[in-house]
Amino acid sequence: MSNRSDFVGHFRDRVSEQGEKQALIFLADSGSGVTERSFDYPELDRRARRVAAWLAGRTEPGDRAMLLFLPGREFMVGFLGCLYAGVVAVPAPMPDSNGRGVARLAGIARDADVRAVLSEQAVAEAIDAWVQHSGLAEQVVHTAVDALPEGLEDDWRPVPLTGDSVAFLQYTSGSTSDPKGVMVTHANLLHNEEEIHQAVRSTSETPVCSWLPQFHDMGLIGQLLHPLYMGSTSIFMSPLTFLKRPYLWLWALSEYRAPISVAPNFAFELAVRRVTDEQLATLDLSCVESILNGSEPIQAHTLDAFTEKFAAAGLRDGAVFPCYGLAETTLFVTGSRDGRVYTDADPKALEQGGIVASTAEDARTLVSSGSAGTLEVRIVDPETHQVLADGRTGEIWVRGGSIAAGYWKQPEKTEETFNAAAITADGATAGHLRTGDIGALLDGELYVTGRLKDMLIVNGRNLYPHDLEHTARQVHAALQTGVGASFVVDGKPEKLVLVHEVKTSALDGTELADLEKAIRAELRAEYDVHLHELVLLPRGGVARTTSGKVRRGSMREKYLAGSLESLLTGAGR
């Protein structure tokens, strides 16, 4: 739908077209409910020009500016201000009040070699202090975007942009010491927004409503930029508001008659568990067309439970829209508008790299993440790079216009990851992105089964950590609200370790010991594996990324360093 080659031109066309329509409505937590803070299209444009005019005197096009904002409407002013100035935006997570996340932030600032920091008045002092301490003061200018004087916007002059201009760097959740910034160009952004639009069938009349973190790709490109791309409205709240009262997410959909939302699988679980019957009775979800579910493994039982529960509020069957994507493809790769497409797969075949339909009791239900639009998806042997047949599992490779320009300042990693050659009987084709994810194509649908790095190889069998953790979690209610991380440690045969969070208040020492026995028995019965060690940790003990993904590699390192203190007494190694 875009006849522009850059996002600024495209967005400003929407500004001229949409009049005084709301662009952003932030629902601020007011204790008992929420308060609206919004910007209409002209106001958002004016404020973005103001920021761009401020940047123009202090940076060069192509310089990087870090965005440090609380969840709210100011973030997008900073983001668009960068794009209007031709400055590369670098969204980053705010450290929490205990200072967690400061080291990662410094790593990102250093890697991106930022020249400016944009924030807002509510946090400007704290950010100033951080700029001083982190040794960035020499190289950066800092301002609060909501403190810039009115009228400054008139000084803005458009800068030349092309499709190849880098719009922003998306830092993926690599380790603190080795941050990787994905370079997303204006052409990538427009291409991916168009993919999403085609898949979701969004229009200028389909507002989007969610609560995702705005510095993460799904929050930024899905929840915020997609409605702006379409000329519709983004209605959003803080992730904390959602975590405190999951009901408010569904309430907002119902209240604002929003047809589209987006969230990771855990949010659907939380909604099933925490929305009470009285709350359910207040909801009318008949307006909802699609709630996208991506970013984490998608569970059939979650989709079923969510669909069943909210049917009582008028939610249509098939409203949950599984999808798959990653920062390196800008965001979206595949999606399943029809909702619940499942395949019951034979577990033994799965261990050997194949999806074979089974009606047996022990079949694993796999959820389709849908099919691609214009992007090419291939399943490839990660060792030989041969393209595999339908129904075989291998690494997911993707090619097409949404594939980002590479990792910032990492030409070798970029070549390896973004320009791989896939081999078929007809020869080789270059330019594929290696996603690092494992999956299979079956009848045109993509099934994502795990991640290459996390795969558990035990006695020549391929086991998926996610499955084992899920099975263990079913053993006792005290495990159900926690997360787990399983991995193998060296040795022949390989030693399987499971670390899991447990609600400590619920159990005494004997009960914990019984729990251990039960988990071991269950894993043996289900997978015929021996658990070398079970480590039980209090809630919050399993490391996660800022977008909520379990960090299995990091938990394995901690385990090997002996720094995990299991609640199971006498569990030394």
The contact set with ligand 649 (CB under 6 A) reads 172, 196, 200, 202, 208, 217-218, 222-223, 226, 260, 262, 292, 294-298, 322-327, 331-332, 369, 435, 437, 448, 451, 547
The answer to whether 328 and 418 have CB atoms below 8 angstroms apart is yes
Helices (H) then strands (E): counts for the chain = 18, 27
- Read off the amino acid at residue 411: P
To the nearest whole angstrom, how small is the minimum distance from the Cβ of residue 354 to ligand 649?
A: 19
Cβ proximity to ligand 649, 116 vs 292, nearer residue: 292
Cβ proximity to ligand 649, 117 vs 224, nearer residue: 224
To the nearest whole angstrom, how small is the minimum distance from the Cβ of residue 218 to ligand 649?
A: 4
> Distance (Å, rounded) from C-alpha 491 to C-alpha 511?
31
Cβ proximity to ligand 649, 140 vs 327, nearer residue: 327
Cβ proximity to ligand 649, 294 vs 482, nearer residue: 294
To the nearest whole angstrom, how small is the minimum distance from the Cβ of residue 376 to ligand 649?
A: 17
To the nearest whole angstrom, how small is the minimum distance from the Cβ of residue 261 to ligand 649?
A: 8
Cβ proximity to ligand 649, 81 vs 322, nearer residue: 322
To the nearest whole angstrom, how small is the minimum distance from the Cβ of residue 322 to ligand 649?
A: 6
How many Cα atoms within 13 Å fall on the side-chain side of residue 258?
25
Residue 53 per-residue DSSP state: H
DSSP states of 454-513: G-EEETTEEE-HHHHHHHHHTT-GGGTTS-EEEEEESSSSPEEEEEEEE-GGG--HHHHH
To the nearest whole angstrom, how small is the minimum distance from the Cβ of residue 365 to ligand 649?
A: 14
Cβ proximity to ligand 649, 153 vs 195, nearer residue: 195
To the nearest whole angstrom, how small is the minimum distance from the Cβ of residue 283 to ligand 649?
A: 20
Structure tokens at 483: 């997360």
Cβ proximity to ligand 649, 161 vs 375, nearer residue: 375
Rounded to the nearest angstrom, the gap between the alpha carbon of residue 322 and the centroid of all alpha carbons in its chain is 13
Cβ proximity to ligand 649, 125 vs 205, nearer residue: 205
Produce one character per residue of 37-67: b if its CB has 16 or more CB atoms within 10 Å, e if not. Answer: ebbbbebbbbbbbbbbbbbbeebeeebbbbb
How many Cα atoms within 13 Å fall on the side-chain side of residue 53?
16
Cβ proximity to ligand 649, 12 vs 216, nearer residue: 216
To the nearest whole angstrom, how small is the minimum distance from the Cβ of residue 224 to ligand 649?
A: 9
Cβ proximity to ligand 649, 503 vs 551, nearer residue: 551
Question: Reduced to 3 states, what is the DSSP secondary structure of residue 70?
Answer: coil
Nearest to 51 by CA among 13, 10, 85: 85
Nearest to 434 by CA among 397, 468, 403, 405: 397
> Distance (Å, rounded) from C-alpha 124 to C-alpha 109?
17
Question: Reduced to 3 states, what is the DSSP secondary structure of residue 216?
Answer: coil
> Distance (Å, rounded) from C-alpha 145 to C-alpha 539?
37
To the nearest whole angstrom, how small is the minimum distance from the Cβ of residue 370 to ligand 649?
A: 8
> Distance (Å, rounded) from C-alpha 80 to C-alpha 296?
28
To the nearest whole angstrom, how small is the minimum distance from the Cβ of residue 15 to ligand 649?
A: 19
